[in-house]
Amino acid sequence: MPEYKLTPEGKVLLPMDDGTEQEFIFTEELIPAYTLSDPLVMNDGCKITTIDEWRKRRDEILNIYENHVFGKTPEIPFNLSTTVLEDWAPAFDGTARRKQIQLTITTEFGYHSADMLLYAPISDVPVPAFLGLNFNGNQSIEPDPNIILTSSWVRDNPQNGVIYNQATDISRGSADSRWPVKMILKEGFALVTLYYGDFDPDYDDGFQNGLHAIFNPPGAIRDGSSWGAVGAWAFGLMRALDVLENESAINASKVTVIGHSRLGKTSLWAGAQDERFFAVIDNESGCGGSALNKRCFGENALAINARFPHWFCQNFHHYNDNEASIPMDTHGLLSLIAPRPLYVASAAEDLWSDPKGMFLAQKAAKPVYEFLGKPGLPMEEFPDLSKTDLTGQQAYHVRPGKHDLTLFDWTQYVRFIKRHLGEE
Ligand code: GTR
């Protein structure tokens, strides 16, 4: 967090990118009173009593998220094709294998491509997989010289080898602390990753590039529920799953979608829309992800929409300084993942993303898991640091440290998924 001042009411004043200062809440006492809509009650007030009714309620909640938060994924026809850039080749001294595939999405308005990197253990049977987008290109996840260096636009980061928005060889392995590939492989999982900017470069360009360019006709007028960048990234994850369905080395019915931070928001949105995902892992998604927006703790709608106007749909901007009127808070988004395994995790020093708000959202989604006959979140109270309980379909932890995706986090995720695969 940058340097801050305190207001007389105890709020924190932070400088914004545009030179203004904005007030934020960083203490529980200042959280406004709020009520959460019941995910098991229809918009017309009828209580859900059957699975069929839940399916209708699920559509209502999905609809709220399409109209008010992430925007609608366009329904125009598209074609997905693949080119194998590198077929299964030995990796890590022959203890595992690597494959690279180019995906191309084509619509009547053009085409767009993304590179997919797969690592898999040596196995005669299809293996379960973790699928996650990365922030800096596939080459950043592991210092393996065979990984194709992205030629796409990447956010500048000279320290990590991204100069003038182009990744260089120095960027190889620069994010490897977030991707413990060897551990994941050793536990019997494949790891599949793609660069998020291949689906939509992460800057506000008025939705002219990335997938937006080929799904929205040139000159088309966007409306309040037109999809934003998170929507395009989530679409990329769903297309990656389409490709995995045709990949014999991978058990596509056992793919866990994982993401950190803005990509945690993305993994939630992909898992909510696409029930083929076996499980969802949200690492520190915070505001607009799993943190309850109505708590207004740390990052709020005004701050996120000002700094990242392209992430959400335009209607989400109506909730700037107006979180109380959000029709369905983030427990609704989490309930769209029920009854599938869902892990939400935070870091104690990452107050900007509201660790407690993420825990409370998991807890508020629990009745949906129970309604669907599955044990939900096993912990009643906000847990001690690093405490986990993996006995339910939902899990949560808050570990010490900053905003990051660490080996501790991955170790819990692997254990959690193995439990749900019946392996632990
Ligand atoms: C922050 C943003 C968060 C989070 C994070 C990230 O600047 O405020 O909502 O998404 O970026 O993605 O790293």
Residue pair 133/233 in contact (Cβ under 8 Å)? The answer is yes
pLDDT in tens, 241-262: 999 999 999 999 999 999 999 9
Atom of ligand 1 nearest to the CA of 352: 8
Chain length of the chain: 424
- Rounded to 10 degrees, the C-alpha dihedral 251/252/255/261 comes to 140
Residue 261 Cβ inside 6 Å of ligand 1? The answer reads yes
Atom of ligand 1 nearest to the CA of 286: 9
DSSP 347: E
* 403 flagged as catalytic: yes
Residue 286 Cβ inside 6 Å of ligand 1? The answer reads yes
Total Cβ atoms within 10 A of residue 342:
28
State residue 215 phi and psi, 5-degree precision.
-105, -20
Residue 366 Cβ inside 6 Å of ligand 1? The answer reads no
What distance in angstroms lies between residue 255's CA and the mean position of ligand 1's atoms?
Answer: 25
Q: Which pLDDT belongs to residue 2?
A: 54
Q: Which pLDDT belongs to residue 15?
A: 83
pLDDT in tens, 295-350: 999 999 999 999 999 999 999 999 999 999 999 999 999 999 999 999 999 999 99
Query: Which residue's alpha carbon is at the smallest distance from atom 12 of ligand 1?
Result: 262
Residue 299 Cβ inside 6 Å of ligand 1? The answer reads yes
Say if residue 186's pLDDT is above 60: yes
Residue 260 Cβ inside 6 Å of ligand 1? The answer reads no
CB-based contacts of 157, cutoff 8 Å, min separation 6: 136, 171, 174
Of the pLDDT bands very low, low, confident and very high (cuts 50, 70, 90), residue 3 is low
**Half-sphere exposure in the Cβ direction for 226 (13 Å, CA):** 16
Atom of ligand 1 nearest to the CA of 285: 10
Say if residue 1's pLDDT is above 60: no
Say if residue 136's pLDDT is above 90: yes
Instruction: Tell me which of 123, 317, 318, 403 is the catalytic residue.
Output: 403
Instruction: Tell me which of 140, 174, 261, 335 is the catalytic residue.
Output: 261
Q: Which pLDDT belongs to residue 423?
A: 83
What distance in angstroms lies between residue 307's CA and the mean position of ligand 1's atoms?
Answer: 9
Atom of ligand 1 nearest to the CA of 260: 12
Total Cβ atoms within 10 A of residue 340:
20
Query: Which residue's alpha carbon is at the smallest distance from atom 13 of ligand 1?
Result: 261
Q: Which pLDDT belongs to residue 181?
A: 98
Pocket mutation for ligand 1, best pick of 308, 351, 405 (most atoms within 8 Å of C-beta): 308
DSSP 162-227: EETTEE-GGGTTTTGGG--HHHHHHTT-EEEEEEGGGTS-SS-SSS-SHHHHHHS-TTPPP-TTB-
Is the dihedral angle over the CA atoms 144, 150, 155, 161 positive or is it negative? Answer: positive
pLDDT in tens, 64-112: 999 999 999 999 999 999 999 999 999 999 999 999 999 999 999 999 9
What distance in angstroms lies between residue 283's CA and the mean position of ligand 1's atoms?
Answer: 11
Q: Which pLDDT belongs to residue 322?
A: 96
Token output for 204:
């506000």
pLDDT in tens, 341-365: 999 999 999 999 999 999 999 999 9
What distance in angstroms lies between residue 323's CA and the mean position of ligand 1's atoms?
Answer: 18
Q: Which pLDDT belongs to residue 16?
A: 82
Helix 262-273 with 51-68: angle, nearest 10 deg? 140
Q: What is the mean pLDDT of residues 402-424?
A: 96
What distance in angstroms lies between residue 261's CA and the mean position of ligand 1's atoms?
Answer: 6
Say if residue 374's pLDDT is above 70: yes
pLDDT in tens, 188-238: 999 999 999 999 999 999 999 999 999 987 778 899 999 999 999 999 999
Residue 262 Cβ inside 6 Å of ligand 1? The answer reads yes
Q: Which pLDDT belongs to residue 7?
A: 84
Atom of ligand 1 nearest to the CA of 303: 8
pLDDT in tens, 4-59: 677 888 788 888 888 888 999 999 999 999 999 999 999 999 999 999 999 999 99
Total Cβ atoms within 10 A of residue 50:
9
Higher local confidence (pLDDT), 165 or 216: 165
* 261 flagged as catalytic: yes
